[in-house]
Amino acid sequence: MDIKEKAKQFAIKAHKGQVRKSEPDKPMIIHPISVGMLLEEYGYDNKMIAAGFLHDVVEDTNYTLEDIEKEFGSDIADLVKGASESDKSLSWKERKQQVIDKIRKLPLRNKLVIAADKVNNLEDLMLFSQKKGKIDFSKFNAGGVEQKWFYTNLYESLIAGEDSNIPMFVRLKKVIDIVFYDNKDKFLEDLFSDNIDYYNRLISLNAQKIELQRLRALCDLSKPFVIEFCGTPRTGKTTILHNLHDFFKKGGLKVSLIEELTTSKYYKEKLYPQIKNLGIDKINICLIEETLKQLQDVINHESDIIMIDRSLNDRMIWNHRRMIENDMTEEQYQQLLTKYPAHSKELIDKYNDSTDKSMDILQGSVAEIYRLDTTNITPTESSALIAERIMRLMRSRYIDNLNEMFNK
């Protein structure tokens, strides 16, 4: 394997079982991997990327700089040394002052590895704080005033003698200003000045979305997160669905949207002319088979999220109604009920239902059910509530996958 992959696998082994200090449900290794990926994103060389993967190994595991040099050579060992604190016996302030003084004299390559480490740490803190609505340093060894002192002086040491317009330095300065100097988007803040609670909620939703994108980039999931939406007519379901599609897509996630089959152009112009003379029982079966086919086809594409306006479960609910109205025999219905919930359970992660009916069908056919009464709330509020619920579930799924990947 190349030096990058070797370093990544070494780091995964070294940090096995460790967790993030600020968010202990996350494996610690996602930070070093993210640092290496950040250096790769900015086009730096393979040794710097390898050092990004390895930068916490000496500080946080039993491996030494000698081990790193033996495995990866003196250049990578030097980059890791530059990103490591030398004397853990000193007080927090003394150690950080040593770091500030040391960094000022380091070569640019060392400084960029350190900057990538700090960018990732501070962006994680920023997103965590934006999700919660406040900055919390309780999990750290020093409070906000001390952290502000450290990061401000560290940045000055990093750019000493260097071009401060180097993109990595610009990104670090931006996140320092947001976290420690409350540098907000004044345009948006003024735009929502009459509804500051809604503004803060948008900030939280956006932070959750960015976190999802970052977690998804680390996962090796083979299937996208699949959500089926169902609701009675004129409840705002389609509007909500399109709101969510736009929200996730603008966050950089790959989103697919499957429209309702029987109102689609494809159904009206192609499928219905082929099946209209088959009889109601065979039409019902054709519709559910076509629904299954569409879902399976989209799942085979590269999407992070698939949203469906009525799918297998909704079709089964309609078939239940048809059985009650004698458009379908009970035997036919039971045959369908035996077959399709199994397909749904395999393909659909989440079901969003705005009614209280048909829970018996849904309980055995999806992983999660979320019922939302949209009678007295706007589509915007409904979209926000659903987005929050979906993102919590996706976050849990991604972190479960990462723990499985890195701690097996």
Identify the CATH number of the domain in which residue 169 sits: 1.10.3210.10
Please report whether residue 364 resides in a domain. yes
Nearest to 215 by CA among 389, 350, 392, 62: 392
The domain of 90 spans 3-183
Judge if 166 and 37 occupy the same domain. Answer: yes
Please report whether residue 125 resides in a domain. yes
Full strand arrangement of the beta sheet holding 350-353: 255-258, 305-309, 225-230, 350-353, 368-371
Judge if 384 and 313 occupy the same domain. Answer: yes
Please report whether residue 193 resides in a domain. no
CATH of residue 227's domain is 3.40.50.300
Sign of torsion over alpha carbons 207, 210, 216, 217: negative
Sign of torsion over alpha carbons 254, 407, 389, 347: positive
- Which single residue is written with the structure tokens 């097996």? 408
**Alpha-carbon Rg for the chain in angstroms:** 26
Active site residues: 59-60
Judge if 22 and 125 occupy the same domain. Answer: yes
Judge if 61 and 175 occupy the same domain. Answer: yes
Whether residue 322 contacts residue 281, with contact meaning beta carbons closer than 8 Å, is answered with no
The per-residue pLDDT for 354 is 47
Q: For residues 83 and 36, give the distance between their C-alpha atoms in angstroms, rounded to a whole number.
A: 13
Judge if 260 and 392 occupy the same domain. Answer: yes
Q: What is the domain count for the chain?
A: 2
Prediction pTM value: 0.83
Q: How far is CA 195 from the centre of its chain?
A: 27
Please report whether residue 211 resides in a domain. no
Judge if 48 and 160 occupy the same domain. Answer: yes
Please report whether residue 126 resides in a domain. yes
The per-residue pLDDT for 363 is 66
The ranges of the chain with pLDDT < 50 are: 187, 354-357
The per-residue pLDDT for 356 is 47
Domain boundary among 183, 206, 238: 183
Judge if 163 and 228 occupy the same domain. Answer: no
How far apart are the two ends of the chain, measured CA to CA in Å? Answer: 21
Please report whether residue 223 resides in a domain. yes
At 371, phi and psi to the nearest 5?
Answer: -105, 130
pLDDT in tens, 222-248: 888 988 887 666 667 788 888 899 999
Domain boundary among 138, 159, 183: 183
